[in-house]
Amino acid sequence: MELAILNIEGKETGRKVSLNDSIFGIAPNDHAIYLDTKQFLANQRQGTHKAKHRGEIAGSTRKIKRQKGTGTARAGSIKNPLFRGGGRIFGPQPRFYGFKLNKKVKQLARKSALSYKASSNNIIVLEDFNLEVPKTKEMVKVGNNLNIANKKSLFVLAEQNKNIYLSSRNVQGVEVITAGEISTYKIMKASTLVLLESAIDVLQATFEN
C-alpha cells in the first residue's frame, strides 16, 4: 500500500512511500498479539512481593501451653499461622513473571499490530524533521497540524533524537520511540502511529531479516 508523506505542517509533500504488504498487509493473528502483549506486561512486573512465613517471624519458640488436657487444639509456637501475628501460610514470595516467547511469534504479533493500524488508516508517514532546541510547544503544534492532538499517538523515529524526545515528554498522550524499540503493546495502545520516513526503512529491514 502507498501513503502520502506529510510535513510537520500537516500538508502533503507530493511524495509517497510504499509500505511492504508482507509487514503492513497480512491477515492479523489475534492470539499472537495477545501472547506478545501478555509477555510485555508480565516483564514490567517487579515481582518483589514478600510475606513472612512462620520461620521468619520474630518471636519465642517456647511451647505456649501443654500438649494435652487444655480442651483446645495443641499448639507448639506463638508463630503458628493460626494465631494473630503469626506467619502466613503460602504467602507471596519474590518471583519472575516473565515467560519465553518464540521470536517468530513476536514478529508475527508486531506485523499483525501494524496491519491492524494500516487497515484502519491510523498510520501517518511524516517527513523527517528535527527541533533545534527542546520545546514542548513545537510538538503540540505538530500534533495540531496532524489532527492527532486529542489522541494517543506513537512517534517512531529511525534513531534517537534527544530534542524531539524532550519536547514530547510533557505532552499528554504522545510517546516517542525508535524503530528498534517498537512493540506490539505500544502499537496497539496508540490510536495513531506516526512513522518518520527514515523509520520505515529501518522497520522493513528489521522484519525482512
* pLDDT of the residue at 2: 87
User: Average pLDDT in the 73-102 region?
Assistant: 93
CATH of domain 2-45+100-208: 3.40.1370.10
Task: Say if residue 61's pLDDT is above 90.
Answer: no
Residue with cell 501517518: 124
User: Average pLDDT in the 114-125 region?
Assistant: 93
CB distance 43 to 98 below 8 Å: yes
* pLDDT of the residue at 150: 85
pLDDT tens sequence across 131-165: 899 999 999 999 999 999 888 999 999 999 999 99
Distance CA 185, CA 41 (A): 8
Domain assignments of the chain as residue spans, ordered by start = 2-45+100-208, 49-96
Strand partners, 5: 125
CB distance 126 to 9 below 8 Å: no
CB distance 35 to 109 below 8 Å: yes
Distance CA 188, CA 192 (A): 9
Distance CA 176, CA 197 (A): 15
CB distance 197 to 125 below 8 Å: yes
Mean pLDDT computed over every residue of the chain: 92
For the entire predicted model, the pTM comes to 0.84
* pLDDT of the residue at 209: 63
Helices H / strands E in the chain, number of each: 7, 6
pLDDT tens sequence across 16-52: 998 989 999 999 999 999 999 999 999 999 999 999 9
CB distance 116 to 188 below 8 Å: yes
Measuring CA to CA, how many Å separate 141 from each of 3, 9, 105, 127, 134? 22, 8, 38, 15, 13
- Per-residue pLDDT band for 126 (boundaries 50, 70, 90) equals very high
Closest CA to 162 of 176, 183, 148, 182: 176
